[in-house]
Amino acid sequence: MELELHPLEKYIRTEKMPTTWCPGCGIGTEAQAFIRAVDELKIDPKKIVIVSGIGCTGRMPHYLRFDGAHVLHGRAIPVAIGIKLARPDLKVVVWGGDGDILSIGGNHLIHAARRNADITVIMNNNFIYGLTGGQVAPTTPKDTLTYTSPYGPDSKPFDAVKIAAAAGATYVARWSTAYPVLLKESFKKALQHRGFSFIEIISQCPEIFGRINGFKDPYGLYQKIRKIGQIRRGIGPFETKYDWNEEITLGEFVNKDEPTYLEQLSQIIKEAQESGQDEA
């Protein structure tokens, strides 16, 4: 009898299994939501490129059967923009950790957003540097611990939704691993969006962040994430909360249509050619 393959197996590099991700990690839930989104949209997998930096999340191009690039820590966004400029027909997706996207790569994030670069950035926010063993991240919430901030973080956390929106991102959403179907729907919107789309996912890192913060198993941390993740509809990005003790607001906060980076560049070149300036 021939074994029947799972219908989504074609999107996974099964030869690379098992993954390096810890048991109970939220990244697998994100990957599944993404491939379901691609499948439902019937996008040709050859038209998708996943670009990642270094981190646990950075392993994504290894495990998903799309073209991909695993580049320097923090530099996935400029590589992705380069790919998109060279091949506008491709859907270019950056998948990174909160350290990758907001610390070392923070500058790239804000400039990609202000340019409305036609890429999607997915940021796995596990509140900590996972791969390197649990250092404090720019997202580490007040009243939580990491191995380099054993008395709590010394500064207030970044709220990625507000940063992306303030910098000019034209699609901004935040979900959590507790809502995989809503996350999938959001991936579908981002993949179809013209311009810069940003999705933050609040996700559990049970082995490092969970342990140091007193969660005995992945489910306990997942429950906490489920409890604080409040979905709010019809509010703007600056009305959201990022508070470990009260609420991390989930939902879609920006969705607007503006000229993309490539369109703006093309317009400038066209105007320069028409006025004869490009001959100088």
Ligand X SMILES: Cc1ncc(C[n+]2csc(CCOP(=O)(O)OP(=O)(O)O)c2C)c(N)n1
55 vs 229, beta carbon nearer ligand X? 55
Q: Kindly tell me which residue out of 129, 171, 175, 196 binds ligand X, with binding defined by CB under 6 A.
A: 129
34 vs 261, beta carbon nearer ligand X? 34
Task: Single out the residue of 262, 235, 273, 238 nearest to residue 116, CA to CA.
Answer: 262
Q: What is the nearest approach in angstroms of ligand X to the Cβ of residue 130?
A: 3
- Contacts with ligand X, 72-111, as mask; x by CB under 6 A: -x-----------------------xxxx-----------
57 binds ligand X (CB under 6 A): yes
Compute and round to an integer the Cα radius of gyration of the chain: 19
Element (H, E) at 251: strand 248-255
19 binds ligand X (CB under 6 A): no
29 binds ligand X (CB under 6 A): no
* Beta partners for residue 21, in sequence order: none
What span, in angstroms and rounded, lies between the C-alpha atoms of 9 and 17? 12
Within 8 A by CB and 6+ apart from 202, the residues are 125, 174, 175, 176, 177, 225, 229, 248, 250
What span, in angstroms and rounded, lies between the C-alpha atoms of 168 and 271? 24
Q: Which residue is nearest to ligand X (CB)?
A: 97
Q: What is the nearest approach in angstroms of ligand X to the Cβ of residue 116?
A: 24
What span, in angstroms and rounded, lies between the C-alpha atoms of 109 and 112? 5
Q: Cα dist. 248→101, 152, 166, 176 in Å?
A: 19, 18, 18, 10
Site residue total, ligand X (CB under 6 A) = 16
Assess contact for 188 and 201: CB atoms under 8 A.
no
Q: What is the nearest approach in angstroms of ligand X to the Cβ of residue 22?
A: 11
90 vs 201, beta carbon nearer ligand X? 201
Q: What is the nearest approach in angstroms of ligand X to the Cβ of residue 155?
A: 16
24 vs 99, beta carbon nearer ligand X? 99
Amino acid code (one letter) for 44 = D
Instruction: Enumerate residues 202-221 that contact ligand X by CB under 6 A.
Output: none
63 binds ligand X (CB under 6 A): no
- Residues that bind ligand X in the complex, under the rule CB under 6 A: 54-57, 73, 97-100, 124, 126, 129-132, 137
